[in-house]
Amino acid sequence: MKRSLVLAMILTLAVVVGMSAATLAKPVTYTLPAETTTLKQTRDQGYLKTEASCTSCHSRDYITTQPPRKGKEFWAAEVTKMVTVYGAPIPEPDRAVIAEYLASTY
């Protein structure tokens, strides 16, 4: 009986401490710097899909400053990494289109 009472008290204390810690957290806000570059516009769907999918997570600078002329294999691997490692919500059919645009443009 004593043991279960002690466990209940410890559990209650842990819950109270946990809830108190959560209320102490303050929201963090920050301002992103202005974009300093744009993606090269083309008429193909790759540009539009890259603009929509890739820039929702990081800046255009991140794309445009990658090593030049790395080819489709490099860009396909990058797109795959963004999806599998970082969870980028890029639909399967769009991945090859994005990689092709990036390979032919950068």
The pLDDT tens digits for 41-76 are 999 899 999 999 999 898 999 999 999 999 999 999
Residue 23's pLDDT is 65
- pLDDT over 80 (residue 95): yes
The SS3 assignment for 24 reads helix
What is the Cα–Cα distance from 88 to 84, expressed in whole angstroms? Answer: 7
Question: Which stretches does DSSP call E strand in 56-100?
Answer: none
What is the Cα–Cα distance from 12 to 52, expressed in whole angstroms? Answer: 47
Domain 45-105, CATH homologous superfamily name and number? Cytochrome c-like domain (1.10.760.10)
- The residue extents of the domains of the chain are 45-105
Residue 83 CB: number of other CB atoms within 10 A?
A: 16
What is the Cα–Cα distance from 68 to 54, expressed in whole angstroms? Answer: 18
Q: What is the pTM assigned to this prediction?
A: 0.68
